[in-house]
Amino acid sequence: MLYFGSLSAALIFYLLSLVNLKKNIQLKNIFLFVALISHLFLIYHDVVLKEFNFDFSNALLVVSIVTVIFYLIFNIKMNYQGLEKIVIIPTLVILVFHYFFSHEYSIRDTDSLYYLAHITIAIIAYGLLTYSAVFSIFILFLENNLHKKKISSLFSTDNSLLSMEQFLFTMIGIGFLLLSITIFTGIFFSQEIFNSAFVFNHKTLFGIFSWIFYGYIFYQRQINGLRGRKAIKLSLFAFILLVLSYFGSKFVFEYLIG
């Protein structure tokens, strides 16, 4: 009952938050806040109550709510018109996917403080870098409209592209720092966190490649002044590697092999 009520409320209020309410931003934020609370109940029901069930669909569920939270924090005044579509529509898809394709997959040692700290930092890093990727796509849409001298009713903002790019890479920088902590604690303290020795596999490989790419982007920005469309596209490529490192491997093992 809790699951279906929470799922229905989340879907309804996320959809309501997509309604164009330029003259009533507060109401739109209320819709989004109620959707987030409902989303949180879903996580409580399917993740927490099931001994931290982090199957593919639940992992998507958790990262998506963190992404929406960052969206709400950074766009509380709705300065970025159209950004909500890029954030909320994938979240709706994830909620529907979760209903049909959730699995049972419980982790071990959920009482371990090391593990809980590690997974919390990882979730925040994934959520922030996901929101950064979404924000990157939003900037690319705006740049495309600007180059075509086209006024779009879907995507608009009063902020300059330069200020948005600076904000984007500030977010990516924080996400990169958290990702660094996640990767290196996972490698060097695997026994304490996971109660098992470190295993080098494709998941680790893609994660390290992603980390290297993010580091390369910041190095190029500092040394050669890398910016604009090229910098944004490189950051999106780094994010794709990050997605493959975790979600790609989980999808293959749970839906193709398992």
* 140: number of Cβ within 10 Å: 15
**What gap in Å lies between CA 129 and CA 247, rounded to an integer?**
14
* 108: number of Cβ within 10 Å: 12
**Where along the chain do its domains lie?**
1-101, 108-258
**What gap in Å lies between CA 174 and CA 197, rounded to an integer?**
28
Low-confidence ranges of the chain (pLDDT < 50): none
Sign of CA dihedral 36, 233, 97, 17: positive
pLDDT of residue 105: 58
Q: Which two tokens stand for residue 203?
A: 């998941």
What is the value of pTM for the model shown? 0.91
| Secondary element (H or E) of residue 136 | helix 113-147
Tell me the pLDDT tens digit for each residue of 144-176.
Answer: 888 776 666 678 888 899 999 999 999 999 999
| Secondary element (H or E) of residue 25 | helix 25-43
Single out the residue of 72, 33, 1, 77 nearest to residue 13, CA to CA: 33
pLDDT of residue 88: 96
Q: Which two tokens stand for residue 14?
A: 């996320």
Are 224 and 181 in contact by the 8 Å Cβ rule? The answer is no
How far, in Å, are 18, 82, 147, 160, 251 from residue 141 at the CA level?
18, 10, 10, 13, 29
**What gap in Å lies between CA 208 and CA 210, rounded to an integer?**
5
